[in-house]
Chains A and B, each alone.
Chain A
Amino acid sequence: NAGVTQTPKFRILKIGQSMTLQCTQDMNHNYMYWYRQDPGMGLKLIYYSVGAGITDKGEVPNGYNVSRSTTEDFPLRLELAAPSQTSVYFCASSYVSGQGTEAFFGQGTRLTVV
């Protein structure tokens, strides 16, 4: 029962490098999300997806790209990494229960850009 799995857990990037943060869920949820959490701060939505083939921007999409080719996977691509992208990144998926939306989060990826 894996839930939401993110890889890698930690990564150090040099300025200008690119990388992909992987996220996969095994709960067959339609909605998936990427958030970033800066130290001592809240969650900021980067991108979200309502299903395979459909993505939309959140609050802070600049510098990131996403794709959703399957229900299970929602990778986040960083192009030309910048120090401002140093953060902890959380992937989440959600479903609507009888009460309302319940979100399930991965363990996070701690990214440092130097």
Chain B
Amino acid sequence: QQQVKQSPQSLIVQKGGISIINCAYENTAFDYFPWYQQFPGKGPALLIAIRPDVSEKKEGRFTISFNKSAKQFSLHIMDSQPGDSATYFCAASDFGNEKLTFGTGTRLTIIP
């Protein structure tokens, strides 16, 4: 059962544009929503995360938007740069269960 659905599977954005990746979850017990970034040949690493008591969290050019009623959250990358080209995974967990549930990943390519 896919508890976290991620889209799109791949995304091509021009340099300077906005990259948007979406995730939807089913388990209402989830209360922590991180995004992981994976460069080729490397393991994923935590990029930014949000808890459901806020609707938005921004760190530099990266922003998470969270819609609790719709059970959706998204990653926005402003002024996208070629160095942002990577695979992005959304994830979710609940405080009573440490195990993270990952989305299927989005391969982002930023073109000049």
Contacts and interface: CB of A to CB of B under 8 A. Distances in A.
Interface residues of A, number: 25
B43 interface: yes
A101 B43 contact: no
B93 A43 contact: no
Interface residues of B, number: 25
B31 interface: yes
Given A99-B49, A101-B32, A108-B42, A40 B107 contact: yes
Contact of A102 (B34, B89, B99): B34
Contact of A90 (B32, B43, B91, B99): B43
B46 A103 contact: yes
A31 B99 contact: yes
A39 B103 CA distance: 15
Determine the main DSSP class of B at the interface with A.
strand
Interface in A27-52: 30-31, 33, 40-43, 48, 50
Given A43-B105, A94-B98, A96-B98, A102 B46 contact: yes
A99 B32 contact: yes
B69 to A, nearest CB: 20
A106 interface: yes
Contacts of B46: 102-103
B43 A106 contact: yes
B31 to A, nearest CB: 7
Interface of B: 6, 31-32, 34, 36, 41-46, 49, 51, 89, 91, 93, 95, 98-100, 102-105, 107
